[in-house]
């Protein structure tokens, strides 16, 4: 009996190892070529802009590729969760910022079917410690389904913090719609990974992510349910612990995957519009709901702060001194203009150009770096796609297919930005960055298909590298990031 049990255990472990290897190979062998096809389609679409029919055909390739990639991502993530291979990366972040971003993304899809979006939430939802990207997925998939399920109706999002007797403080989100009502068996199928729904293709495409949302929610210690909502529609209820149950009393210090911003905005009025205007000029801008959150979230202080002018500046200035930020230039935002000539102020809300001019005086722009981008990537098709994307915006691109050549060019050419993969034929890309970082502060964008461990993410965050996962970003995302970093 003991021998049989040992053999069964060894067989199960072998199956798990084979499944893990298969998922890793599928992730790399399918996602990378598909990402290259999408990038090639985008390049063709731009090159054929003067031939509408051909450009439309290229756009069809891009759309089909993105649909297939989205479906592949869902299937791979679901399979990784079932295999116990998907690890969460918890970090503290603002729920208000997350909801602003998610609702801004979903609003065009809701309007497409002539629906209205109704939002019910408190003025401040505060902070949560969770995996930011995974919580975003949990919210996006039911919102997409509600938008597809409803025509000329309403999608309502209600978010609040609540306290449960046994589970502590929770984030509770309900998403309801006035679309068609689903029966219980249909809902159960929606929440089952890899299930094929017996309905129209559009509903299948949008409903595939619901099972992944449930899996991710449960992985984060929460719950996810969908119920009929007679006479019309369904209601999705999401509950997530504000703090992960496995946390200790130690303070949370987890990696961010963005470089420190030039500017931090803390304003209650039209913050998104001001952020957009400043980013178009070329600054890297972060918007926070409070100065306390900005101080808590940033590893290093920004170059300048833009803060609503309070009746009494003393508490704000005391907070800055306590954080060691008292030397950071502060631009006080006022809707009437400041009467104190001893401070730097800007009229806001108002003309963004006036705020930009004030920021330029307080924070002179750095001299533009050389117009050279170094791409270190062993896959020739990927290098070609990145090169063409960058050259279409006027960048000069130099390439290296391995670590040794990449380091030589990096040190001699002093590029504005380095884009590299972590998996290189003659070495580890992470070791390369750490080595060069000792003497050079070049902005780095890591573009990789490698699933990163927590310690690798932490190392990259500490040296200021930005991480983009292959197959999970758009060409425009890379170009925008290069523009922001190459200053």
Give residue 184's pLDDT band: very low, low, confident or very high (50, 70, 90): confident
Portion of the chain with pLDDT greater than 90, in percent: 17
Say if CB 38 and CB 66 are below 8 A apart.
yes
**pLDDT over 90 (residue 172):** yes
Q: What is the mean pLDDT of residues 429-449?
A: 88
Per-residue pLDDT of 245-273, as tens digits, reads: 444 333 333 333 445 677 899 998 888 88
Label residue 163 left, alpha or beta by phi (over 0 means left) and psi (-120 to 50 means alpha).
beta
User: CA–CA distance from 394 to each of 208, 239, 374, 466, 483 (Å)?
Assistant: 40, 47, 14, 22, 11
Say if CB 211 and CB 191 are below 8 A apart.
yes
d(CA 101, CA 84): 29
**pLDDT over 50 (residue 244):** no
Instruction: Write down the residue that tokens 């029919």 correspond to.
Output: 53
CA 51 from centre of chain:
34
In this predicted structure, which of 125-134, 381-390, 449-458, 461-470 has the lowest mean pLDDT? 449-458
In this predicted structure, which of 112-116, 128-132, 191-195, 416-420 has the lowest mean pLDDT? 191-195
Environment class of residue 166 by beta-carbon count within 10 Å: exposed (0-12), middle (13-18) or buried (19+)?
Answer: exposed
pLDDT at residue number 245? 42
d(CA 475, CA 479): 6
Per-residue pLDDT of 28-46, as tens digits, reads: 677 777 877 887 888 888 8
Phi and psi, residue 425, nearest 5°: -65, -25
């Amino acid at each position: 009996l003991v021998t049989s049990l040992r053999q069964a255990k060894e067989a199960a472990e072998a199956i798990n190892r084979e499944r893990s290897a298969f998922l890793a190979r599928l992730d790399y062998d399918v996602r990378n070529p598909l990402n290259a096809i999408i990038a090639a389609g985008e390049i063709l679409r731009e090159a054929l802009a003067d031939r509408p029919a051909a450009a439309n055909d290229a756009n069809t390739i891009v759309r089909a590729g993105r649909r297939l990639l989205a479906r592949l991502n869902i299937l791979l993530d679901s399979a990784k969760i079932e295999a116990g291979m998907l690890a969460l990366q918890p970090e503290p972040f603002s729920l208000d910022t997350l909801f602003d971003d998610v609702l801004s993304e979903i609003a065009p899809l809701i309007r497409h079917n002539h629906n209205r979006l109704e939002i019910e939430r408190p003025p401040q939802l505060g902070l949560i410690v969770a995996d930011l990207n995974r919580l975003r997925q949990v919210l996006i998939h039911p919102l997409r389904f509600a938008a597809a399920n409803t025509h000329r109706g309403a999608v309502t999002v209600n978010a609040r913090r609540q306290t449960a007797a046994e589970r502590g403080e929770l984030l509770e989100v309900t998403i309801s719609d006035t679309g068609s009502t689903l029966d219980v068996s249909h809902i159960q199928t929606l929440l089952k990974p890899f299930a094929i729904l017996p309905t129209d293709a559009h509903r299948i495409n949008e409903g595939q992510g619901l099972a992944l949302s449930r899996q991710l929610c449960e992985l984060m210690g929460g719950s996810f349910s969908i119920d009929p909502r007679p006479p019309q529609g369904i209601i999705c209820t999401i509950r997530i612990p504000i703090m992960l149950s496995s946390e200790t009393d130690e303070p949370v210090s987890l990696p961010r995957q963005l470089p420190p911003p030039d500017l931090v905005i803390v304003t209650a009025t039209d913050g998104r519009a001001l952020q957009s205007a400043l980013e178009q000029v070329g600054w890297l801008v972060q918007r926070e709901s409070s100065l306390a959150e900005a101080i808590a979230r940033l590893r290093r202080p920004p170059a300048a702060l833009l803060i609503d002018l309070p009746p009494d500046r003393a508490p704000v200035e005391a907070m800055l001194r306590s954080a060691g930020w008292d030397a950071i230039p502060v631009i006080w935002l006022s809707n009437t203009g400041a009467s104190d000539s001893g401070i730097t102020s800007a009229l806001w809300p108002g003309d963004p150009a006036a705020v930009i001019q004030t920021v330029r005086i307080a924070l002179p722009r750095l001299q533009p770096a050389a117009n050279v981008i170094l791409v270190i990537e062993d896959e020739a098709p990927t290098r070609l796609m990145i090169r063409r994307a960058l050259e279409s915006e006027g960048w000069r691109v130099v390439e290296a297919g391995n670590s040794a050549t990449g380091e030589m060019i990096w040190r001699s050419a002093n590029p504005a930005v380095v884009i590299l993969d972590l998996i290189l034929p003659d070495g580890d890309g992470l070791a390369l960055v750490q080595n060069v970082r000792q003497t050079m502060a070049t902005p780095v964008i890591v573009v990789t298909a490698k699933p990163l461990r927590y310690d690798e993410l932490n190392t990259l965050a500490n040296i200021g590298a930005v991480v983009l996962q292959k197959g999970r970003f758009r060409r425009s995302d890379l170009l925008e990031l290069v523009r922001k970093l190459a200053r």
